[in-house]
């Protein structure tokens, strides 16, 4: 791995933590009715996040001249490049999943003294991540 790639990976890790900590803190204060949520909550959040990500990326794709510059999502690329929406989607999905894992760890360590809804950011992160990769793969097969 080159020095430049290592710098982008380090920047991605810092961005993960900077984005995941506030999300984790916000999710820790959830309403008391959450434990009785439907079993379909997580799959519906994953599907909604994936569909929303594909919709947003398709909408951005309609901007003339922007599609020619898009590259597949990669860990060794600049995650904050404004002209690379696939990199942004990857970063946001990873940050949401990281905050979900952090909430799960907090939930286990506090031993159910505080209800923590780790499923929501985890499901949203998986949906955004899958939507980004699905769109990136479809775009790679049909470059137009």
Per-residue confidence (pLDDT) for residue 128, from 0 to 100: 92
Write the DSSP symbol of residue 111: T
Burial (0-12, 13-18, 19+ Cβ within 10 Å), 6 = exposed
pLDDT of res. 24: 67
**In the prediction, which pLDDT does 141 show?**
63
Rounded Cα gap, residues 129 and 133, in angstroms: 6
3-32: per-residue pLDDT in tens?
A: 766 777 777 778 777 777 777 666 666 655
Domain ranges of the chain: 3-29+36-141
Handedness of CA 130, 54, 94, 136 (dihedral sign): positive
Render pLDDT for 59-96 as a digit per residue (tens, 0 to 9): 887 777 666 667 777 777 777 777 788 888 888 888 88
Residues 6+ positions from 56 with CB-CB distance below 8 Å = 85
Q: Tell me the three state secondary structure of residue 137.
A: helix
Q: How far is CA 42 from the centre of its chain?
A: 15
Residue pLDDT, tens place only, 86-140? 888 888 888 888 888 887 777 777 665 555 577 888 889 999 999 988 887 776 6
């Amino acid at each position: 791995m080159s020095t430049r790639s290592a710098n982008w990976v380090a920047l991605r890790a810092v961005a993960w933590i900077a984005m995941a900590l506030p999300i984790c803190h916000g999710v820790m204060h959830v309403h008391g009715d959450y434990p009785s949520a439907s079993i379909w909550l997580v799959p519906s959040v994953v599907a909604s996040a994936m569909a929303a990500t594909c919709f947003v990326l398709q909408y951005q794709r309609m901007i003339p001249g922007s599609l020619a510059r898009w590259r597949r999502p990669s860990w060794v690329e600049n995650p904050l490049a404004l002209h690379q929406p696939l990199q942004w989607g990857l970063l946001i999905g990873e940050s949401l999943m990281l905050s979900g894992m952090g909430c799960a760890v907090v939930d286990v360590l506090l031993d159910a003294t505080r209800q923590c809804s780790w499923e929501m950011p985890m499901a949203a992160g998986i949906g955004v991540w899958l939507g980004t990769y699905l769109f990136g793969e479809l775009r790679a097969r049909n470059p137009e």
